[in-house]
Amino acid sequence: MVITARQEALVVSSWNEMKDDAPTFALNLYLKLFEIIPSAAKRFSFLRDSNVPLEKNAKLKAHAMGVFVMTCEAATQLRKTGRVNMGANTSVQHLGAVHFKAGIGDVHFEILKFALLETIKEGLPYMWSEELKDAWSNSYDHLVAAIKAEM
């Protein structure tokens, strides 16, 4: 079993808790990412070509939201089918191609994982636990492995 029922439940329930305030979580995720590696900003075409401040950049928020939503979906898919395979609109193949083109490497996926976990920890302190951390870690690792396999 790649993910336990309890891990899936933890990811889904904490995402439900974050959903209402999803734009804030999305923004915080990228503020954390850029705090760790400021140079990452230039990897996003929609940031390079834009003067809109981060907190008003709709594309950045959509991208960040995707990280939460897809990690959460990965948990459910892993539980159902034992593997990650996103829907047609955000296929793993497409994500592999886009991230390959952008020159994204292992180190970037690792940093985003750290930023994701820190964002959840800071945003949901009353739900945070090592178990919750492991559940998100596990889902994220499987999602990234699926994306990397297409790169």
- 5 forms part of the interface with its own copies (CB under 8 A): no
- 107 forms part of the interface with its own copies (CB under 8 A): yes
- 102 forms part of the interface with its own copies (CB under 8 A): no
Nearer to its own copies, 37 or 69 (CB): 37
Total binding residues for its own copies by CB under 8 A? 12
Residue 124 in tokens: 């949901």
CB 36, min distance to its own copies, A: 4
Residues 100, 112 contacting (CB under 8 angstroms): no
Instruction: State how far the alpha carbon of 122 is from the alpha carbons of 3, 68, 115, in Å.
Output: 24, 15, 10
Quote the radius of gyration of the chain (alpha carbons, Å).
15
Nearer to its own copies, 32 or 79 (CB): 32
The residues, ordered by sequence, that sit 6+ positions from 112 with a Cβ below 8 Å of its Cβ are 33, 67
Q: Annotate each residue in 25-54 with x if it binds its own copies (CB under 8 A) or - if it does not, as one string.
A: ----------xxxxxx--------------
Residues 105, 41 contacting (CB under 8 angstroms): no
CB 80, min distance to its own copies, A: 28
Distance CA 8, CA 26 (A): 21
Residue 127 in tokens: 């739900």
Using CB under 8 A, which of the segments 6-14, 21-29, 77-85, 109-117 binds its own copies? 109-117
- 20 forms part of the interface with its own copies (CB under 8 A): no
Residues that bind its own copies (CB under 8 A): 35-40, 106-108, 110-111, 114
